[in-house]
Structure 1
């Protein structure tokens, strides 16, 4: 809610760039009783696209009425847009395997009020974290995955995601490769944390690869999940310095901290509707 206790919304949009877009959007909001609280825009000279995020309060229209009016307004501009009420936390499902540092970090930040999420379920192919889930009162679903049962397991996962109305799926060190079909169904709403500074050291055991190459920096990358493994649009990255004295175990421990922080920032920005897709890249209004 805004300072006046009016409902607050976030509008995000993209469209072909042209003169007067900021004026048009702000004029539309003014006409419909909107009070702009935060606004940012970006013109991509490479693609000729315009991106904008506006947070505004509005008591004149309901959410649905605003959506109807926006649909009419956006059509002449060929806008892709979305409208979200800030009072509604983002319904989220977390996937995890045997390493729980990212899961634990996200749960703690959520319960501390640092992430605008509604974590509806935790899904894992192992049983390790059912007690952690219970301590946060989050339903835990154990769905084993083998090569022979992968299709059935993914069908169960998707059933849970859909039943919970999840707007976001976070792969918090979920170490199974999702099928192309599931990647397509979750396009734009599934975030993965890769324990490497992509595009370097893709695939399995990147810290071993990095140690073997004697790197001076290790990193982590949060990106959207796509059918192309570790190739999805990048949301956030960070690094930690290393030197010749660091063992694989040292690098792994350092990397876990970096992974947790990078994933948390990516999830926060996504849940606040600050990330807009721009082809295979992202525009982030921090």
Structure 2
């Protein structure tokens, strides 16, 4: 879009960018309807990804588009899209492109994933604002405070777990948290907490799920003589390590690797799988299909 300067020369008008994600029952005409809506509102499509699952009869769409600043606000676009969404029975979200999501990170004693997320957030590599860090240990308190982020030590035992999780939910509300990231948080969330945070909690499991669940998966892998080790980022649900898988990373190994070697090389896989999952969630690229994910990249 352009306007004219006082001298009569065209001047560029800054554009506002949004991301629209849609999923609904598969039917002819969905893309036509959405693109028609954008055309009517003076929007230009920058990038579009779509997927139709024939087995489930379900359709997924992500559109990155721009419009002139004087056109429609985010609120107006949402308001105007509602009738179309209702007509097609869509699940949908419309967000400003690049908006930083408010993230709370949980960690125990292993700090490599936390450190990676802090660095990526600080440098702008991830579209997130880490608003708080919660840990059942104090090992990383100074690191977190150096980044200027509030740190909360919430120790947990079997007896104190209900109170600890209640306090966690208070922090989620207090900091207006949109996503909780378990960055090697070595405590199992209760079924009640998992349900309350459903769809907005990502965990990193230090194994290539569904293999080697539970404790010490690298040691389990060593006992099986694996030739690759990996890490899996997934959404949390009530079943331990059974939530929808988002991102996985693999590293080749061989018979010379000890169990401790597998733990060491696995750290890089964990950091990469988790940062990918956080990025895709915050960019509106992940849509759920039962216990599976559709990732529109």
TM-score norm. by structure 1 comes to 0.97
3-state secondary structure, aligned to 1:215 = coil
Q: Report the alpha carbon displacement of residue 72 of structure 1 after superposing the two structures with TM.
A: 1.1
Q: Deviations over 1:230-259 (max 9, x none)?
A: 011111101111111111110000011110
- After superposition, residues 1-286 of structure 1 pair within 5 angstroms as 4-58=13-67, 59=69, 60-286=71-297
Q: Report the alpha carbon displacement of residue 178 of structure 1 after superposing the two structures with TM.
A: 0.5
Q: Report the alpha carbon displacement of residue 135 of structure 1 after superposing the two structures with TM.
A: 1.2
Q: Report the alpha carbon displacement of residue 34 of structure 1 after superposing the two structures with TM.
A: 1.7
Q: Report the alpha carbon displacement of residue 69 of structure 1 after superposing the two structures with TM.
A: 1.2
Instruction: Judge conservation of contact 2:221–2:229 (CA < 8 Å) in 1.
Output: yes
Runs of 4+ displaced beyond 6 Å: none
CA distance in 1, matches of 2:145, 2:256: 40
3-state secondary structure, aligned to 1:144 = coil
Q: Report the alpha carbon displacement of residue 5 of structure 1 after superposing the two structures with TM.
A: 2.2
Q: Report the alpha carbon displacement of residue 4 of structure 1 after superposing the two structures with TM.
A: 4.6
Q: Report the alpha carbon displacement of residue 216 of structure 1 after superposing the two structures with TM.
A: 0.8
Q: Deviations over 1:106-160 (max 9, x none)?
A: 1111111100101100000100111110111110010010000001000111111
- Aligned residue pairs total 284
CA distance in 2, matches of 1:172, 1:4: 42
Instruction: Judge conservation of contact 2:98–2:283 (CA < 8 Å) in 1.
Output: no
3-state secondary structure, aligned to 1:7 = strand
| Structure whose CA Rg is larger | 2
Gaps of 5+ in 1: none
3-state secondary structure, aligned to 1:187 = coil
Change (3 A) 1:196 1:4: farther
Gaps of 5+ in 2: 1-11
CA distance in 2, matches of 1:216, 1:188: 33
Q: C-alpha root-mean-square deviation of aligned residues, in Å? A: 1.1
Residue 9 of structure 2 corresponds to none
CA distance in 2, matches of 1:216, 1:13: 39
TM-score norm. by structure 2 comes to 0.94
Q: Report the alpha carbon displacement of residue 87 of structure 1 after superposing the two structures with TM.
A: 4.5
